[in-house]
Amino acid sequence: EVQLVQSGAEVKKPGESLKISCKGSGYSFTSYWIGWVRQMPGKGLEWMGIIYPGDSDTRYSPSFQGQVTISADKSISTAYLQWSSLKASDTAMYYCARRGIQGTDYWGQGTLVTVSS
Amino acid sequence: QSALTQPASVSGSPGQSITISCTGTSSDVGGYNYVSWYQQHPGKAPKLMIYDVSNRPSGVSNRFSGSKSGNTASLTISGLQAEDEADYYCSSYTSSSTLNYVFGTGTKVTVL
């Protein structure tokens, strides 16, 4: 069974750093693109960036380029999304999702990030 | 890359059929047969309902169907049920983004 399991909710202060994770199982982790999707409170879905764990090819949406870093450790089938300096506007639910042959077919359960002073 | 355009809300009574539109351009919806639809219940992760315009993943009810005409894709839910009340997002392959995919603005479906 394909699963993407994300790390737990985080509460941070502005200016702090953060790295959240997404562990894949039940499939060949290195053979599928993994993406990160932001959903701000009460808003829609936005692609932030994607990574191909097989060769670490990484692409970012222009809106998120320079604001976050996406990485992956294929030895432990885990993708990461990190911030070096959080802002209140980063408060959102973040999903990882697998891009399969049949579209974005599997999603993590989401990680809620709250940034507040 | 701008989001694809969906109506903010659509409603219907149990048993009725409703259709949600998703309008893009020739660089996305109109240019490729890679339109997907996702259902999202409150507090839950999105779920793939339709891929490649009109294909249903295993386990998705045949009450859900997809189609496309020109730059507009559509999701039809027939025999509307209370459990169908959710947000729905379309997504399309696009040649206008380095990420190759763009979401729609989302539609809230209400079962009256």
**Residue-wise pLDDT tens digits, B24-68:** 999 999 999 999 999 999 999 999 999 999 999 999 999 999 999
Average pLDDT score over chain B: 95
CA distance linking residue B8 with residue B52, whole number of Å: 23
Mark yes or no for CB contact A47/B45 under 8 Å.
no
Mark yes or no for CB contact A105/B101 under 8 Å.
no
Mark yes or no for CB contact B106/A95 under 8 Å.
no
Distances (CA, A) of A102 to A32, A59, A79, A84, A94: 12, 20, 21, 34, 22
User: Which residue out of A36, A40, A47, A98 would a mutagenesis test of the B interface target, given it has the greatest number of B Cβ atoms within 10 Å?
Assistant: A47
Q: Which two tokens stand for residue B33?
A: 């047969």
| In contact, A6 and A25? CB cutoff 8 Å | no
B7 contacts in chain A (CB < 8 Å)? none
B48: distance to nearest CA of chain A, Å?
A: 6
Grouping H, G, I as helix, E, B as strand and the rest as coil, residue B57 is coil
Structure confidence at residue A20 as a pLDDT band (50, 70, 90): very high
Distances (CA, A) of B48 to A52, A104, B26, B59, B70: 21, 7, 23, 10, 23
**Residue range B67-76, pLDDT digits in tens:** 999 999 999 9
User: Which residue out of B98, B100, B105, B108 would a mutagenesis test of the A interface target, given it has the greatest number of A Cβ atoms within 10 Å?
Assistant: B98
Amino acid at A71: S
Q: Which two tokens stand for residue B102?
A: 């763009």
pLDDT at A19: 98
Over residues B8-32, the mean pLDDT reads 96
CA distance linking residue B37 with residue B51, whole number of Å: 7
The percent of residues in chain A predicted with pLDDT above 70, rounded, is 100
Start-to-end CA span in chain A (Å): 40
**Residue range A23-68, pLDDT digits in tens:** 999 999 999 999 999 999 999 999 999 999 999 999 999 899 999 9
Q: Which two tokens stand for residue A96?
A: 């990882």
Mark yes or no for CB contact B51/A95 under 8 Å.
no
- Residue that the structure tokens 């891009």 belong to: A99
pLDDT at B9: 97
